[in-house]
A and B are shown apart, each in its own frame.
Chain A
């Protein structure tokens, strides 16, 4: 281990602090600091094991002006490309790659991204070499993050709560991602549900939309999620009815909808019973009492 060699410690504000990483990486790179001499730490209350005391649950408002609205539609793009603008030029592919990989839960991600940035100086075509071990690892991290983001877009389930005082509706979801994707994926939901108030709660951080602004607050607990929604009976009815018992294929289902997500999907509660009763239902279709195939 070379960790005792570290001369510079960079403290990032949060586990998903991509802007902070870019700012620091730009300065380190300008000063030609060797990646081996940098230690990356996260000050995040949720994920920094050494911080000791829980921080105040402060909400950080993210103003949505016209420019930010454009960001909402093109998540990450505008802020991403400007962060390194003042320094040297980097390939667009690097911005896109780090946009994703820096959200991974792998503790070595900041170090890997900075190493790639430094290597790009001497090897400008480095990112085209997917066979390079550093590039291959970065691509793997980015892919895992994008998949996690995709699954968040798919598996978030809102439950509607009507506030007794105002009579207005709020939609609340609870989601447990693998990586630090909640804030980065929230603009998608702002673009989709822009005229309804919603909150997505998660262990790492929570995001809130009041129809104008996205706000970030600290992590929540599953018990903060309302326990029911009036539409869930209809949704579960749909899930059960669209299923074709003659095509039972649990493995394909679980490959795309891994079991770890099931506890937060209301419809998943019905899966065991749908699977168990499928063979009987098929048998009654193939051997119909009502109409026997003539001449078969």
Chain B
């Protein structure tokens, strides 16, 4: 291997890390560098310091320690049998890059992962060493997210949790039966056992912190995982069920969905065509509905067709169209639960409606001051001065925000859906 300088390694080891969708820097405890000797602060909702031309947030320095890997997972660019160029950072190089980037305000911190080298323990040790150097030698108080290697020594995981704000292990395959074929060295039950251990430690540390402010932290920003969409044939319904189970079993902060993306020299075990990116987006929307909007998984799955979310319309609109008997909703009387089901109304708009209507009766004009997407909501709501039945001439169900993300054919389809919907409220 020709000699690579740090920037040369960075090109390889950032490229190797980009299939991990997570770049969040949120949920860390509030801290600053005041009174310390180094740099860094955390707290609040996280900051995206740049956006790549793929529209993804760049918040952390997201790299692998090395892309050398003894595993041979078919979907992974770093699998043992891939002919990708290999590199390995020294711990000092990672520490230096993290601090130099951080001091210039490029990043919120470090997200460090690694290919499996030699053994789980050896790999985890290398990852933990970087975090230890940052925290102890440099008093680094920015965000640290560490990938946890399943089956690593609990003492190492314990140490990782002391330095890291977030820990994660990627499940990757929604179907347990896909592992032998696509990720032969990975054992889903071992992965889940490790995740269970993390969940327990995170919970214990949280409880201890409630008793005493001095109790040691353990991954205070929680744990997350990732599922690949479109690599193993799992339907959206299967993916959502897998995700629900993971959320519930391990109290995850986030399940990320990552549409399987073409990689150089891909394996013949994988589908030739990648799934549409819109599919990933729809899964996030549906995930949000079940976590913040009060929809049950059964309701979402029930409005799917053959286990798949509609690419042409967002799942909230799909549910509304399939449950027309629930609409129109009276903005001045409906409860929070029902207001949250109105396409176009988000959690914040609903909060504003509820507090405003205690003091005045809301007309449509008021609604348009409360939310930017009042027009989207119009066909689904009754206000003091408007009823969808009264204004059925124009194209009623427009979804400008969604439509802008939808490729051309899908957008046409969604207008079509909107059009066919009009008669319903005319009755």
Contact = CB atoms under 8 A, between A and B. Distances in A.
Interface string B261-285: 1111111101010100100000000
Interface residues of A, number: 74
Interface in A4-38: none
Contacts of A290: 83, 265
B33 A195 contact: yes
A125 B404 CA distance: 38
Interface residues of B, number: 69
Interface string A153-167: 111111110000000
A188 B34 CA distance: 11
Interface string A228-255: 0101011101111111111111111101
A97 B156 CA distance: 46
B10 interface: yes
Given A150-B47, A192-B39, A252 B55 contact: yes
B366 A171 contact: no
B28 interface: no
Given A130-B369, A235-B104, A271 B53 contact: yes
Contacts of A115: none
A293 B272 CA distance: 7
A233 to B, nearest CB: 6
Interface string B47-73: 111111111111001100000000000
Given A158-B103, A275-B53, A291-B265, A69 B34 contact: yes
Nearest to B358: A128
- Mostly, the A contact residues are helix
- Mostly, the B contact residues are loop
B382 to A, nearest CB: 16
A231 B100 contact: yes
B104 A159 contact: yes
A251 B18 CA distance: 20
A257 interface: yes
Contacts of B370: 130-131, 136
Interface in B6-45: 6-7, 10-12, 14-15, 17-19, 30, 32-41
Contacts of B51: 252-253, 256-257
Nearest to B34: A194
Given A192-B41, A195-B36, A291 B266 contact: yes
A253 B244 CA distance: 30
Interface stretch (A99-107, A217-225, A280-288): A280-288
Interface in B326-361: 352, 355-356, 358-360
B97 interface: yes
Nearest to A190: B34
A170 to B, nearest CB: 11
B101 interface: yes
Interface in B86-108: 97, 100-101, 103-106
B87 to A, nearest CB: 12
Contacts of A171: 103-104
B272 A296 contact: yes
B205 interface: no
Contacts of B104: 157-160, 171, 229, 231, 235
Contacts of B56: 242, 244, 247
Contacts of A235: 101, 104, 106
Given A154-B47, A154-B49, A160-B104, A133 B369 contact: yes
Contacts of B144: none
A234 B106 CA distance: 11
A267 B50 contact: yes
Contacts of B35: 194
Nearest to A137: B369
24 contacts: A73-B30, A131-B370, A136-B369, A157-B105, A158-B103, A191-B33, A195-B37, A196-B103, A233-B7, A234-B100, A235-B104, A237-B7, A237-B14, A238-B101, A243-B18, A244-B52, A247-B55, A249-B54, A249-B277, A253-B55, A257-B51, A285-B266, A290-B265, A293-B266
Interface of A: 69, 72-73, 125, 128-133, 136, 150, 153-160, 171, 173, 188-196, 229, 231, 233-235, 237-253, 255-257, 265, 267, 271, 274-275, 278, 282, 284-286, 288, 290-296
Given A128-B355, A196-B103, A244-B19, 19 more contacts: A131-B369, A132-B369, A173-B105, A193-B33, A193-B39, A195-B38, A234-B100, A235-B106, A237-B10, A240-B11, A242-B17, A249-B53, A255-B55, A256-B51, A256-B55, A256-B57, A288-B265, A293-B272, A296-B272
8 nearest A-B pairs in the assembled complex, by CB-CB distance: A252-B55, A131-B366, A191-B32, A249-B55, A247-B54, A241-B14, A243-B52, A130-B352
